[in-house]
A and B are shown apart, each in its own frame.
Chain A
């Protein structure tokens, strides 16, 4: 008892005497001068160096999504005469990537392409890598900006939102009632996409389409399933559903495929080919979309090579060529956008395995 009181007293004393609080750190950071991303000048005409060593560090190895993305990157490295490899932890935990970054520094790689499990935990190690002259590209999942030179983003929220409406409009002939089956009411990315969907729907070509409801399946399979059921009960004349979540679209597809609405009510959204292959083949879904992970890795690989060859430094407005994907321009905050999402349908779905 006495000890506890003593300890509590000590704690209060330290608190009273001041110390480092969150606001202190924030003030320090905002008053500190922003460090320039890079002082080196880019030479857009520099040729890609030969024999570049590029390492891919996914969130997790043996994850089909990353295997495809990293194979795309290794493929690209072969094209420009470099050497690509994938290394990484078998469990996607926050700090497991750090030991890999350290070993990549020791191996003197030319570029590290990373999908961060934790945007901050990897930053100290990545800073060391950059200090050692290694270029860092984040892909799929960004790190804090000071940890990398360039972020290769799969698709912009605006593209994802608008193209989903375009996709569904084509499928239902620009006519009829539609609904959205989202994740949770406060899911940040879903809500951003939905805002762009609503904005897209304001355009005159969608005047005969009406968004009747946004339902939330909480990214829970069972809940998404019953929400779909509920939507069709309330709106028997529904023409189509957009589900911008992989859990939602799979549950909705399962319900539709066993109901009389199969093929009549169109369903689209974001999903993975392996999850939805069956429903595309049995006619429940005409087409859905997601970015192409192989292209994502391919582009990230070229970005790493362009950085390591001095073609770009990661500053806004710089351009570089990415083999078969063509030319890319670096946007604000060192971001490069892969481009419009890939639409998966009967014709191409068997080309993808993730």
Chain B
């Protein structure tokens, strides 16, 4: 670096530089990214065909219905997690928000409040959790990874304070059966997921807000200077993530007919896994909802088929891990390969 260059205005330089590399990166990976989605789809179809032919008990209505139902909570939280990660943030507190919301539900139910009043309160709790994350990230400028690792413990801790190791199980049968009901082999909750997924997909891919999310994810400064209300968008993304987690908590509680403080422990990793496998960049700025939904299904199908095939749990975790590493590695390997083979990009890579 020359002294001339150092004398230039730091901000504009950084902005120009990152904008350039970003454009380059995008052009280099757009094709690959498209191919990634196709790859996930092919993988999904492949696993489904293999399982239908080779695994007893996979291809029948009740199993398909259960498989879909079993991915409901992950799918719900993955919808908003996709938006959050595209905006180059992350929310690791979703499963703890789910747990806290379950604990609130159990606690209020024990205190005699009607369930119809408890449900909106739970959603409000989720919104408050999200707002808390959002405030810490946008007002204090803290990295969301650090903030949500903190609230991950905070919300779960609060859930235990409220409910301890109690399990609240005498929930109204009307709601518990609604959570597991299905129309043919399609569970009612899957219909709910599909509707919300459609909304999220439209928001992300067909509105100005969606474009702003992509823009702020790929270059926050550039987005800010082009008039995008970065902080406001981020704040509301965290709120949406919290609300979705509490919606998932309602599904979870009624589906298992049990409200506990430890509900959904570890789900945040399944959610992030699905989002990354779906082709969303962990650095923000690119990804698509259809890709994420396919990844949710793929992970669900692999899990279901391997359990049916009596594959040990350890192997199952290994396979899931492998898929994940591949999903994070593949796009980057592609980028490296492209950089190596296009000499004009030498020295300009980030």
Query: Which A residues contact B (CB, under 8 angstroms)?
Result: 7, 10-12, 14-15, 18-26, 28-29, 61-62, 85, 87-91, 93-95, 98-100, 102-103, 105-108, 118-121, 123-124, 144
Contact = CB atoms under 8 A, between A and B. Distances in A.
Interface string B248-266: 0000100111101011011
Given A89-B313, A95-B258, 12 more contacts: A7-B120, A10-B120, A11-B117, A14-B120, A21-B112, A21-B115, A25-B170, A25-B173, A91-B265, A99-B70, A106-B56, A119-B169
Chain B interface, DSSP helix/strand/loop, else mixed: helix
A86 to B, nearest CB: 10
B121 interface: yes
Contact of B257 (A28, A62, A99, A120): A120
A93 B255 CA distance: 15
Given A14-B114, A106-B60, A124-B180, A25 B266 contact: no
Contacts of A88: 313
A55 to B, nearest CB: 10
A349 B169 CA distance: 40
Interface residues of B, number: 48
Given A23-B112, A103-B304, A90 B313 contact: yes
A103 B57 contact: yes
B308 interface: yes
Interface string B299-341: 0000110011010111001000000000000000000000000
Contacts of A11: 117, 120-121
A35 to B, nearest CB: 13
Nearest to A106: B57
Interface string B18-60: 0000000000000000000000000000000000000011101
A94 B260 contact: yes
A15 B114 contact: yes
Nearest to B70: A99
16 contacts: A19-B115, A19-B116, A25-B172, A26-B170, A62-B314, A89-B313, A94-B167, A98-B256, A99-B70, A106-B57, A119-B167, A120-B256, A121-B256, A123-B257, A124-B255, A124-B256
A10 B118 CA distance: 11
B262 A93 contact: yes
Contacts of A61: 312-313
A266 B111 CA distance: 48
A99 B303 CA distance: 9
Interface string B237-277: 00000000000000010011110101101100000000000
Nearest to A12: B117
B6 interface: no
A144 B310 contact: no
A22 B310 contact: no
B308 A25 contact: no
A107 B308 contact: yes
Given A89-B313, A121-B257, A124-B256, A18 B114 contact: yes
A19 B257 CA distance: 18
Contacts of B314: 62, 90
Contacts of B121: 11
A20 B112 CA distance: 9
A19 B66 contact: no
A85 B256 contact: no
B14 to A, nearest CB: 39
Contact of B167 (A25, A87, A118): A118
A25 B57 contact: no
A7 B124 contact: yes
B101 interface: no
Given A106-B60, A106-B308, A124-B180, A20 B114 contact: yes
